[in-house]
Amino acid sequence: MDREQLFQIAEQNQLAVVQLLSDSGIVEVWESIGATVNMVGSARSGLMMKNLDVDFHVYTDEPMLEKSFSAMMEFGKNPSVKEIQYRNLLDTEEECVEWHVRYQQPTGVLWKMDIIHIRKGSTYDGVIERSTDGVIGRLTPEIREAILRIKYDMRDEVKTMSIEIYYAVIAQGIRNYPEFTEWKRMNPDLNLLGWLP
């Protein structure tokens, strides 16, 4: 697959994300309870390939649980919401509530939404947004192609966080999937939370 084909897939995915936001009303639901909503990750950077996964970081102050459940109760009324999973991490360093949603569009396409509800002013407030902006700022055509090619060539059963691919390509000079596989084998436990390109 050549560069233009990879870029075209990513661009089509970006258009699909815009449609998803419009159809689902997810941003409006959270804003209705006073939250600040930021899309992060590959959906924001234009680096989505095969995984239809949209990540949101939303921010409020207290009462966190009441606001979180209020928003998700409203969102859950949408018949396209097929599954919701919940994790309470408010008493950890992350100070957040995680929501993982399966959302099926009328076309039958199934999306995953990760909604991380973070306490305003906590340790990780804005961290992933800065990292995402840093990746976007480094996207030359060569780097973009390498990231998309690795994502495209990766076997479906392999689970890798996108931040690992971005770090490998931007900071380590990795340019293809075999190189990435070997690099990952040699670096299995990197903690890249907070990495800024």
pLDDT at 196 over 90: no
Q: Which two tokens stand for residue 119?
A: 């306490």
The pTM of the full predicted model, rounded to 2 decimals, is 0.92
Cβ atoms of residues 8 and 14 within 8 Å: no
Q: How confident is the model at residue 188 (pLDDT cuts 50, 70, 90)?
A: confident
Encode pLDDT of 3-50 as tens digits.
999 999 999 999 999 999 999 999 999 999 999 999 999 999 999 999
The closest of 15, 11, 10, 29 to 147, measured between CA atoms, is 10
> Could you tell me the two tokens for 148?
């998309």
Sheet holding 53-60, edge to edge: 36-40, 53-60, 110-119, 96-104, 81-89
Residue 164 and residue 190 in contact, taking contact as beta carbons nearer than 8 Å: yes
Q: Are 16 and 108 in contact (CB under 8 A)?
A: no
| Residue 110 dihedral angles phi and psi, to the nearest 5° | -100, 125
pLDDT of 191 reads 84
Task: Write out the two tokens for 163.
Answer: 């931040």
Q: How many helices and strands (H and E) does the chain possess?
A: 8, 5
The single-letter code of the amino acid at 76 is G
